[in-house]
Amino acid sequence: MGLPKPRLSQTVFGLQFANPIGLSAGLDKNFELAPLMRSVGFGFMEGGSITFEPCAGNPKPWFHRLPADGSLVVNAGLANQGAERIVARLQAQTVLPNFPLNISVAKTNSAQACSTDAAIADYLGSLKLIQKSGVAQLVTLNISCPNTFGGQPFTTPERLEALLSATDTLNLTIPLIVKMPNHLDWPEFCQLAEVAANHQVAGLTIANLAYRDQVKLSQPIPITIPGKLSGRPTLARSNQLIGHTKRHFGDRFVIIGVGGVFSAEDAYTKITLGANLVELITGLIFQGPQLIGQINADLIKFLDCDGYENISDAVGSNSLMLN
């Protein structure tokens, strides 16, 4: 399972991906595990989210397992060592061939970075360090982390317009991706995507954590356990939003599908709905690192079944069938 599989290889964002399965942001917060993630079979990884200032995150515990629902209650609050230290670490690491690094950037989780202007300055500070250092092949704006001071200020069209107008001035030389929220219905989600389409945004990651009032769980979560939901509870809405985005925007955006991936079938569904690439964390945590090799091996079977030569042929093949 660890051998390269040319039928899963594709060029996306002008970069070579050995396979479409990547690590999502939130596990390797400080970019300390990239060689390990490549070894277990991921085709790329997204680390962070990093913020301009170091951040201790929310009070622990940060995670609470919901095994019956295939989910984690997540309340880390963007804990990380800060952009300067993390960029310096990446500069000292050996470049991993054909393993694109995607740095997720968010605003520092603090009262000082809460206003719109201060938050934009925080994003720009990190982006400038990344641009100057050349340590990443991709960069993602995490506008939708729901567990931070001040909430999600850039999930309105007006504020997202302000943020992306500012990032445009940097003339980034690496592709810029926006990580989209999970909790919005399609009309509101589409308004945000329309804003992104008018700026230097190459891709959308769909989507972030689910709100607990959006989904039905096997057991209620005590109010004493704060946070939002990963894994299975995010699956249905993530898939819907991927399909709607592909159908509405066509090839305007590269789509990275996230949410509830526990098998090759889960990954392939996102791909056929329109995702060029797929990321996961919760499936890895519950099922172990062998899951990545199993997904890649089983994706070949899906290609055989549908008569596709390469994984890129399957992208968006079912987007028009979404209700």
CA pair distance 306, 275, nearest whole angstrom: 17
pLDDT given at position 3: 52
Distance of alpha carbon 12 from the chain centroid: 15
pLDDT 10s digits, 71-88: 999 999 999 999 999 999
CA pair distance 91, 132, nearest whole angstrom: 11
pTM of the model: 0.95
Domain residue limits, the chain: 6-321
pLDDT given at position 110: 84
pLDDT given at position 266: 98
pLDDT 10s digits, 273-319: 999 999 999 999 999 999 999 999 999 999 999 999 999 999 999 97
Residues 261 and 283 sit within 8 Å (Cβ to Cβ): yes
Report which DSSP code applies to 80. Answer: B
Report which DSSP code applies to 96. Answer: P
CA pair distance 31, 221, nearest whole angstrom: 31
pLDDT given at position 323: 53
CA pair distance 110, 77, nearest whole angstrom: 10
Report which DSSP code applies to 51. Answer: -
Residues 240 and 322 sit within 8 Å (Cβ to Cβ): yes
CA pair distance 10, 86, nearest whole angstrom: 28
Handedness of CA 229, 55, 175, 138 (dihedral sign): negative
pLDDT given at position 216: 92
pLDDT given at position 322: 57
The answer to whether the peptide bond before residue 39 is cis (omega within 30 degrees of 0) is no
CA pair distance 285, 122, nearest whole angstrom: 31
Closest by CA to 105, choosing from 134, 82, 88, 73, is 82
For residue 1, pLDDT over 80 is answered with: no
Closest by CA to 210, choosing from 189, 186, 229, 237, is 229
pLDDT given at position 153: 75
pLDDT 10s digits, 125-157: 999 999 999 999 999 999 977 656 555 679 999
pLDDT 10s digits, 94-119: 889 889 999 999 999 887 777 889 99
Neighbouring residues of 302: CB distance < 8 A, sequence distance ≥ 6: 264, 265, 268, 314
Other Cβ atoms closer than 10 A to 196:
25
What does the mean pLDDT of the chain come to?
94
pLDDT given at position 186: 97
Place of tokens 């993530």: 238
pLDDT 10s digits, 200-213: 999 999 999 999 98
Q: How many CA atoms lie within 13 A of 172 on its CB side?
A: 28
Closest by CA to 315, choosing from 251, 278, 281, 272, is 272
End-to-end CA distance of the chain: 35
Closest by CA to 147, choosing from 209, 199, 104, 197, is 209
Domain 6-321 matching CATH 3.10.150.10: the answer reads no
pLDDT band for 321, please (50, 70, 90 cuts): low
Closest by CA to 148, choosing from 117, 108, 99, 179, is 108
